[in-house]
Chain A
Amino acid sequence: MSIEVRHVDKRFGDFVALDDVTVSIPTGQLTALLGPSGGGKSTLLRIIAGLEHADSGAIEIEGVDATYASPQKRNVGFVFQHYAAFKHLSVARNVAFGLEVRKRPKAEIKARVAELLDLVHLGQFADRLPSQLSGGQRQRMALARALAVEPKVLLLDEPFGALDAQVRKELRDWLRKLHDEVPVTTVFVTHDQEEALEVADEIVVISHGRVEQIGSPDQLYDEPANDFVMRFLGPVTQLGPLLVRPHDLDLLTADPGGATSGRIVRVARIGFEVRIEVLVGDQTVLVTMTRTEYGALNIEEGSTVWVRVTPGAPTVEAVTPLADVTALAEEEPAVHA
Chain B
Amino acid sequence: MADIRTIADDTGGEEPRTLPVTLAGVEYTPGPRPPRRRPGKPGPGRWVLRLIVVAYLFFLVAWPVSLVVKNTFADGFSDLAAVFDDPDTMAALWLTVRIAVVSVVINTVFGVGMSILLVRYRFPGRRALSALIDLPLSVSPIVVGLALVLVYNSVDGWFGTALDDRGIDVIFAWPGILLATTFVALPLVIREVVPVLEEIGTEQEQAAHSLGAGAWATFRRITLPSIKWALVYGVVLSLARALGEFGAVKVVSGNVLGNTRTATLAVEEKYLNFDKPGAYAVSFLLVMVAVSAIVVVALIRPGKKDR
Decide: B221 and A97 in contact? CB cutoff 8 A: yes
Query: Of B200, B207, B210, B226, which is in contact with the most chain A CB atoms at under 10 Å from its CB?
Result: B210
| Closest chain B residue to A121, Cβ basis | B8
B78 at the interface (CB under 8 A from A): no
| Closest chain A residue to B9, Cβ basis | A121
A84 at the interface (CB under 8 A from B): yes
Could you give, for residues 61-103 of chain A, a 1 whenever the CB lies within 8 Å of some chain B CB and a 0 otherwise? 0000000001110111110101011111000000001101110
Whether A137 touches B204, Cβ cut-off 8 Å, given contacts A71-B209, A97-B213, is no
- A-contacting 9-mer, from B13-21, B106-114, B120-128: B13-21
Distance in angstroms from B158 CB to nearest chain A CB is 41
Query: Of B1, B12, B203, B214, which is in contact with the most chain A CB atoms at under 10 Å from its CB?
Result: B203
B225 at the interface (CB under 8 A from A): yes
| Closest chain A residue to B224, Cβ basis | A88
| Closest chain B residue to A124, Cβ basis | B9
Question: Which of B1, B12, B206 lies in contact with A51, CB distance below 8 A?
Answer: B206
Could you give, for residues 1-27 of chain B, a 1 whenever the CB lies within 8 Å of some chain A CB and a 0 otherwise? 101110111011111010100000000
Whether A181 touches B14, Cβ cut-off 8 Å, given contacts A72-B213, A97-B211, A101-B217, is no
Question: Which of B9, B15, B212 lies in contact with A101, CB distance below 8 A?
Answer: B212
- In the bound complex, residues from chain A placing their C-beta under 8 Å from that of B228 are 88
Distance in angstroms from A103 CB to nearest chain B CB is 10
Whether A174 touches B7, Cβ cut-off 8 Å, given contacts A75-B212, A88-B225, A163-B14, is yes
A54 at the interface (CB under 8 A from B): no
Question: Which of B5, B17, B211 lies in contact with A164, CB distance below 8 A?
Answer: B17
- In the bound complex, residues from chain A placing their C-beta under 8 Å from that of B4 are 121, 174, 177-178, 181
B162 at the interface (CB under 8 A from A): no
Decide: B11 and A134 in contact? CB cutoff 8 A: yes
Number of interface residues of B (CB under 8 A): 33
Decide: B206 and A170 in contact? CB cutoff 8 A: no
Whether A77 touches B217, Cβ cut-off 8 Å, given contacts A134-B12, A134-B13, A177-B3, is no
B147 at the interface (CB under 8 A from A): no
- In the bound complex, residues from chain B placing their C-beta under 8 Å from that of A49 are 210
- In the bound complex, residues from chain A placing their C-beta under 8 Å from that of B232 are none
- In the bound complex, residues from chain A placing their C-beta under 8 Å from that of B5 are 121
A204 at the interface (CB under 8 A from B): no
Decide: B213 and A136 in contact? CB cutoff 8 A: no
Decide: B14 and A135 in contact? CB cutoff 8 A: yes
In the bound complex, CA of A174 to CA of B3 (Å): 9
B208 at the interface (CB under 8 A from A): yes
Distance in angstroms from A49 CB to nearest chain B CB is 6
B222 at the interface (CB under 8 A from A): yes
A30 at the interface (CB under 8 A from B): no
Question: Which of B12, B206, B307 lies in contact with A84, CB distance below 8 A?
Answer: B206
In the bound complex, CA of A170 to CA of B1 (Å): 15
In the bound complex, CA of A146 to CA of B212 (Å): 10
Decide: B8 and A71 in contact? CB cutoff 8 A: no
- In the bound complex, residues from chain A placing their C-beta under 8 Å from that of B13 are 134
Distance in angstroms from B204 CB to nearest chain A CB is 5
Decide: B14 and A171 in contact? CB cutoff 8 A: no
Number of interface residues of A (CB under 8 A): 45
Could you give, for residues 22-50 of chain B, a 1 whenever the CB lies within 8 Å of some chain A CB and a 0 otherwise? 00000000000000000000000000000
Could you give, for residues 32-54 of chain A, a 1 whenever the CB lies within 8 Å of some chain B CB and a 0 otherwise? 00000000000000000111000
A16 at the interface (CB under 8 A from B): no
- In the bound complex, residues from chain B placing their C-beta under 8 Å from that of A149 are 211-212
A1 at the interface (CB under 8 A from B): no
Distance in angstroms from A117 CB to nearest chain B CB is 11
| Closest chain A residue to B228, Cβ basis | A88
Question: Which of A72, A163, A181 lies in contact with B209, CB distance below 8 A?
Answer: A72
In the bound complex, CA of A50 to CA of B206 (Å): 10
Decide: A167 and B14 in contact? CB cutoff 8 A: yes
Whether A136 touches B212, Cβ cut-off 8 Å, given contacts A86-B207, A121-B7, is no
- In the bound complex, residues from chain B placing their C-beta under 8 Å from that of A152 are none
Whether A77 touches B15, Cβ cut-off 8 Å, given contacts A88-B225, A121-B8, A177-B3, is no
In the bound complex, CA of A229 to CA of B207 (Å): 33
Distance in angstroms from B198 CB to nearest chain A CB is 15
Whether A101 touches B211, Cβ cut-off 8 Å, given contacts A121-B5, A167-B11, A171-B7, is yes
Distance in angstroms from B264 CB to nearest chain A CB is 38
Question: Which of A72, A142, A177 lies in contact with B212, CB distance below 8 A?
Answer: A72
- In the bound complex, residues from chain A placing their C-beta under 8 Å from that of B207 are 78, 80, 84, 86, 142, 145
A320 at the interface (CB under 8 A from B): no
Could you give, for residues 142-172 of chain A, a 1 whenever the CB lies within 8 Å of some chain B CB and a 0 otherwise? 1001101100000000000001101100110
Q: What are 26 A-B contacts with C-beta separation under 8 Å?
A: A49-B210, A50-B209, A51-B209, A71-B206, A72-B210, A72-B213, A76-B210, A78-B210, A84-B206, A88-B226, A88-B228, A97-B208, A97-B211, A97-B221, A101-B212, A101-B221, A121-B7, A134-B15, A135-B14, A136-B11, A137-B11, A145-B211, A163-B14, A171-B7, A178-B4, A181-B1
Known: A101-B211, A137-B11, A171-B7. 18 other contacts (CB 8 A): A49-B210, A71-B206, A72-B212, A72-B214, A86-B204, A86-B221, A86-B222, A97-B208, A100-B221, A101-B213, A121-B8, A134-B12, A134-B14, A145-B207, A164-B14, A174-B7, A177-B4, A181-B4
**List of 3 A-B pairs having minimum Cβ-Cβ separation, nearest first:** A98-B211, A121-B8, A84-B203
State the A residues within 8 Å of B (CB): 49-51, 70-72, 74-78, 80, 82, 84-88, 97-98, 100-102, 121, 124, 134-137, 142, 145-146, 148-149, 163-164, 166-167, 170-171, 173-174, 177-178, 181
